Amino acid sequence: MTLDWFDRVTEELQEDLESICEKYDQIGHMSIDKGAKHPRIEFFVETDENGREYFCTLFFDPFNNEFYIESFDLDLDLTSRTILDDIDDIIDVVHESFHDYLNDDEYVSDFEDNEEEYETLDVDWETPEVTAYITENEDVEISYKFGVIQETGDGILQRINRMKTDDDDFIKDEFNFIFSKDEASTIIAMIASHMDAIKSLDMEH
């Protein structure tokens, strides 16, 4: 029995999902429970009432060293398992479950209203786009730029991810992190004091 595969997947899963899906990057979360007989990873979004709505649960069988999801057949009154052989299958299942959840009309309406409001922010960009990371074969590029929101005076740090497809096209997604001047020094200090604990992206490629 080993949890090596479980640990490797949990380390990569959140970042991989954020890279391929802008909406998941904004609202998707995951929690890990290693104490269960079959450890699990649960995926959820936070609600306005400080609650959670779960949209996918991955289970891990440590004896067979494999991930699986469960589904219930109402006609047969049986629970079935679908085995997920590799990280790509796992990402696809979670990503598909997330968008199935978003297809709920009421939630999509609320999300799009908030997203539309968010996209109308006027930002004074103080820096150009600066490349922070690029792979040797240039198929993955991560860059940042910093600006100030005109209406509130808050800072905004925008991360831009670009990934090359098999057709040599680039998929681009953006993530915006907004913070006040009061928060900035704390954020900088927390990052600086824990730099040694952060893994380099080069270790994953």
DSSP string for residues in 36-89: SSS-EEEEEEE-TTS-EEEEEEEEEETTTTEEEEEEEETTTTEEEEEEE-SHHH
Band of the pLDDT at 42, cuts 50, 70, 90?
very high
Q: Which percentage of the chain shows pLDDT scores above 70?
A: 85
Mean of per-residue pLDDT scores for the chain: 83
Alpha helices (H) along 44-125: 87-102, 105-119
What are the backbone angles phi and psi of residue 188, rounded to the nearest 5°? Answer: -60, -45
Cα separation, 115 vs 176, in Å, equals 12
Cα separation, 84 vs 86, in Å, equals 6
The most confident of the ranges 36-45, 98-107, 192-201 is 36-45
* Residue 168 pLDDT exceeds 90: no
Q: Does residue 54 sit in helix, strand or coil?
A: strand
Q: Which of 8-22, 30-44, 52-66, 107-121 has the lowest mean pLDDT?
A: 107-121
Cα separation, 156 vs 40, in Å, equals 34
* Residue 74 pLDDT exceeds 80: no
Q: Does residue 186 sit in helix, strand or coil?
A: helix
Band of the pLDDT at 16, cuts 50, 70, 90?
confident
List, edge to edge, every strand of the sheet that includes 66-73: 29-33, 40-46, 52-61, 66-73, 78-84
**What's the residue count for the chain?**
205
